[in-house]
Chains A and B, each alone.
Chain A
Amino acid sequence: MTTGTQHLSVTKSITVNASRDRAFSVFTAKFFTWWPASHHIGEAEMADAVIEPHQGGRWYERGVDGVECDWGRVLAYAPPDRIVLSWHLQGDWSYDPDPAKASEVEVTFVGEAPDRTRVELTHRHIERHDEHEKVRAGVDSPNGWAGILTVYAEAVT
């Protein structure tokens, strides 16, 4: 059976005029300053979004109401070379704690010059997010199904 969903990944690369140290530090310690504010899972608006600076740390948001919502875990933390995060957010921005359904985000920082760094990002194992089960569970709920379709709409427009 060929489903065409094996090993789905997204690969991105961007070069910034900064040292590896600063690129790494802005990516991690200042994650909240650049992450698109509209993309969060809490009910309230985001007050902060945090990548804890150690392996095994949490990756989470804190809403203006003080509620913290996990996004995933820090799987590897190696400044200024590399960070790997698990991504437990499903298609409708709900959190699924099951590691078998989490994808992974690996970011590497490659020095091209003392003040120029190439940032390579791979979001892999997207196929682990089992959208079918979600569809099955949510098909009777307008929120469940519409949630997936709404993100899809954003993707295609």
Chain B
Amino acid sequence: MPTYQLDALGALGDPTRRAIFELLAARPRAVGELASELPVSRPAVSQHLKVLKEVALVTDSAEGTRRLYRVDPRGVHALRDYLDQLWDNALAAFAAAVEEERE
């Protein structure tokens, strides 16, 4: 999905969403915790979390009776995908260099 990163940048353009993201980067938190640390209502926090989830910056999971939000680990997966592509290109160029030297 090539639009992810643009959406993610857009999502972080909002100061409240960025504050939420920074808090979650420090450690996972529940909606209530986020609301108590920020000057916004709980429904507003929920709305922001929904947006952050849509652009894959944040993920959530049930922990007992609570729902915990955390930073989505896909950042490191994106790095893997990037290296996958990079080595494809690099090895193709390497093979060409080997063959060229032969001539």
Q: Name A's B-contacting residues (CB within 8 A).
A: 1, 3-5, 8-10, 12, 14, 16-18, 22-23, 26-27, 30, 33-36, 39, 91, 119, 121, 123, 126-127, 129-132, 135-136, 139-140, 145-146, 148-157
Contact = CB atoms under 8 A, between A and B. Distances in A.
10 contacts: A4-B77, A12-B91, A18-B98, A26-B98, A27-B94, A91-B78, A119-B91, A130-B76, A135-B71, A152-B78
Contact of B75 (A12, A30, A33, A148): A148
B44 interface: no
Contacts of B88: 12
A91 to B, nearest CB: 5
- Of all A-B residue pairs in the complex, the 5 with the closest CB atoms, nearest first, are A131-B75, A149-B5, A155-B82, A34-B97, A136-B25
Contact of A152 (B12, B25, B82, B94): B82
Interface residues of B, number: 42
A100 B21 CA distance: 25
A1 B26 CA distance: 16
Interface in B71-89: 71, 73, 75-89
A149 B91 contact: no
Given A14-B92, A36-B89, A91-B78, 20 more contacts: A4-B77, A5-B77, A10-B80, A10-B83, A14-B91, A17-B102, A18-B101, A26-B94, A33-B97, A36-B86, A39-B86, A39-B90, A126-B79, A127-B76, A131-B76, A139-B25, A145-B12, A146-B9, A150-B5, A153-B2
Identify whether the interface residues of B are mostly helix, strand, loop, or mixed.
Answer: helix
Interface in B49-103: 61, 71, 73, 75-99, 101-102
Which residue of A22, A135, A157 has the most chain B CB atoms within 10 A of its CB atom? A135
A14 B94 contact: yes
A34 B98 CA distance: 9
A111 to B, nearest CB: 14
Contacts of B71: 132, 135
A34 B94 contact: yes
B81 A132 contact: no
